[in-house]
């Protein structure tokens, strides 16, 4: 029994240590990156709209059709220049419609995608790296990802300054990314927050402006099941170890080993 307890603690410690070191992990066949610190999953493709548009020439028409009946985005005058399929940039309204489309098609098995949020406060304006005089990293989900998880440095393009987890993503642009948070609670998304991966600034822009990109995020781990494979393997191994230990434990023999009266 003592050996069983020690094995359990040792294996549990290894798994706990591994989980603590790997806050960003590729999930669901690589289409998402799970952030275990903030319990959200990002689209691993930093320019997923462009990738989808290249594979489907009717994508924009499908996105617009999917907005029917949706407040705000359904009533927009969908000018073709709101979506730039050649480079993947789009206006804020278009980014909202694209994320809505991801939910319609149940992308990656989730229908809870959204544009990343920002704390709607003047204190969020600036370089949210958490340094003295700058906004907190917690001021937006993008700050938490780019500064907190990918090692961005204020004033430097993300592509030029990052850590090893950056390789989990593809096509992150050194440009500007839309937040889904409106300024001042504006219900029409007339002005929304944005984040510059070009130099790390967080500021505001009118949602009709083009030339900006979008990454989607969903809460929790994409493709997760109640008991992950590694945990199930550990549990099964420990169960087997426990059963083996119990069966192998010596016990006094009080009657003959063989014969009708022997132990079962």
- pLDDT grade, residue 258 (50/70/90)? very low
Tokens at 181, concatenated: 């948070």
Give the Å distances, CA to CA, from 38 to 22, 33, 34, 187, 259. 13, 12, 9, 27, 63
Q: CB atoms < 10 A from the CB of 72, how many?
A: 16
Q: How far apart are the first and last CA of the chain?
A: 22
In this prediction, residues 129-148 reach a mean pLDDT of 98
The per-residue pLDDT for range 91-130, each reduced to its tens digit, is 999 999 999 999 999 999 999 999 999 999 999 999 999 9
Predicted local confidence at residue 74, as pLDDT = 86
Domain-located, residue 13: no
H-run or E-run covering 180 = strand 176-182
Domain-located, residue 1: no
Predicted local confidence at residue 16, as pLDDT = 38
Domain-located, residue 254: no
**Nearest to 107, CA basis, from 32, 201, 9, 13:** 32
Domain-located, residue 154: yes
H-run or E-run covering 176 = strand 176-182
Predicted local confidence at residue 19, as pLDDT = 37
Round the average pLDDT of the chain to a whole number and report it: 82
The total domain count for the chain is 1
Pairwise CA distance, residues 64 & 100, whole Å:
10
Domain-located, residue 8: no
- pLDDT grade, residue 188 (50/70/90)? low
Domain-located, residue 14: no
Residues 113-136, buried b or exposed e (16+ Cβ, 10 A)?
A: bbbbebbbeeebbbbbbeeeebbb
User: Does residue 39 surpass a pLDDT of 70?
Assistant: yes
The residue among 132 and 256 whose pLDDT is bigger is 132
Predicted local confidence at residue 22, as pLDDT = 58
Predicted local confidence at residue 116, as pLDDT = 98
What percent of the chain stands above pLDDT 90?
68
Domain-located, residue 239: no
3-state class (DSSP) for residue 126 = strand
User: Does residue 14 surpass a pLDDT of 50?
Assistant: no
Domain that holds residue 103: 27-219
Domain-located, residue 261: no
């Amino acid at each position: 029994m003592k050996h069983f307890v020690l094995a359990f603690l040792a294996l549990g410690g290894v798994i706990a240590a591994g989980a603590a070191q790997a806050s960003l992990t590729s999930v669901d066949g690589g289409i998402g990156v799970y952030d275990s610190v903030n319990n959200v999953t990002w689209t691993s493709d930093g320019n997923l709209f462009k990738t989808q548009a290249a594979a489907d020439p009717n994508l924009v028409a499908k996105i617009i059709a999917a907005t029917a009946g949706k407040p705000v985005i359904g009533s927009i005058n969908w000018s073709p220049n709101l979506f730039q399929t050649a480079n993947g940039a789009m206006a804020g309204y278009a980014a909202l419609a694209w994320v809505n489309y991801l939910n319609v098609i149940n992308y990656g098995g989730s229908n809870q995608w959204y544009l990343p949020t920002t704390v709607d406060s003047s204190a969020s304006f600036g370089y949210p790296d958490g340094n003295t005089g700058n906004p907190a990293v917690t001021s937006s989900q993008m700050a938490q990802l780019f500064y907190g998880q990918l090692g961005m440095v204020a004033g430097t393009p993300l592509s030029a300054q990052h850590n090893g987890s950056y390789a989990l993503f593809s096509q992150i642009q050194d440009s500007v990314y839309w937040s889904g948070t409106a300024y001042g609670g504006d219900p029409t998304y007339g002005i929304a927050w944005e984040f510059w991966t070009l130099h790390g600034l967080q500021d505001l822009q009118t949602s009709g402006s083009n030339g900006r990109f979008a990454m989607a995020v969903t809460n929790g781990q994409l493709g997760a099941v109640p008991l992950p494979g590694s945990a199930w393997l550990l549990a099964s191994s420990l169960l087997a170890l426990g059963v083996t230990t119990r069966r192998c434990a010596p016990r006094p023999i009080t009657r003959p080993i063989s014969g009708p009266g022997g132990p079962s």
